[in-house]
Amino acid sequence: MKKKLKEQVVEHKGYTVSYNTTWLIPNWVAYELTDEEVVGQISRADKFVPDPDIKGRCSTTDDYKGSGYDRGHMAPAGDMKWDAKAMEESFYTTNICPQNHNLNSGDWKELEEQVRDWAIKNEKVYVVCGPIVKKNYATVGANNVAVPDSFYKVVLMYRDGSWRSLGFVFANKAGNKPLDTYAKSVDEVEKLTGLDFFSILPDEIENEIEKNGSFEEFER
C-alpha cells in the first residue's frame, strides 16, 4: 500500500485492517478466503464492539445509532463462519463503515456472495476492500465517524495457471444494478484510492492483470 494515511495496522485471525485514526473507519481490510472457509458452520455473532487492539480513539456502535446508516462490514461476517474468533473479530468497529442500507443489503451483499462463489470455484481468492472518503466528508455520532462517498473492493485469484484481478466501486447510496456495471480495473481503483494492492506479485504480472476491467474476462 503506497498512500500515506493515518493508520494503525492490526492483524486479526480472519483479516488485517488498516484503521484510520482520523476517520475512525478502515483505510482497507484485506483477507484470503478459501473454499473450505466458505462452508464453515459458525453462527453469526451480531455483537458490534470497539477493537481492543486499537490504541487511542475507536468508533463505537453508538456512533451509528440514529444516523440513518447501516454498520456495513468490510470483511463480511459470512466469510468468517470457519472460526468463532474470526467471526467475533469481524464485528469489531474497525471493520465497519457507515453504509447506505440499500447498498449494504443489496448490491454490496451480492458481491460478497459472488466472492464466495469465486473462492469455491478457485480454491481461494484474495480480497481488499474499504471506503473512499472525500475531503469534505460528513460524519456521524459523537466521535465524528467519517461517512464514505463510496466503497471499493478488489479481488485477486489464480485460475488455469494464471493470475486474474478485478475491481469494483459502489457509490454509498441506494440503487440496484448488475454487478458488472460496478466493475473497474484494479489500476482504476488504485487511482481513486492512492493504494497499491497487489505489489507482492512480480511487476510484469501485476501490471498486466491490473489492466482488466471486464467482469466477463475475469470469470472466463
Which residues are known to be catalytic?
73
Q: Which three cell numbers stand for residue 64?
A: 451509528
**Strand ranges, E, within the chain:** 8-11, 16-20, 25-34, 70-73, 96-99, 124-132, 139-140, 145-146, 150-159, 162-171, 183-184
Q: Quote the CA–CA distance of 218 and 158 in Å, as a whole number.
A: 10
For residue 190, which of 169, 164, 216 has the smallest C-alpha distance? 169
Q: Quote the CA–CA distance of 197 and 219 in Å, as a whole number.
A: 20
Q: Which three cell numbers stand for residue 65?
A: 445509532
Q: Quote the CA–CA distance of 95 and 16 in Å, as a whole number.
A: 9
CB 201 within 8 A of CB 161: no
The two beta strands, 96-99 and 150-159, are: unpaired
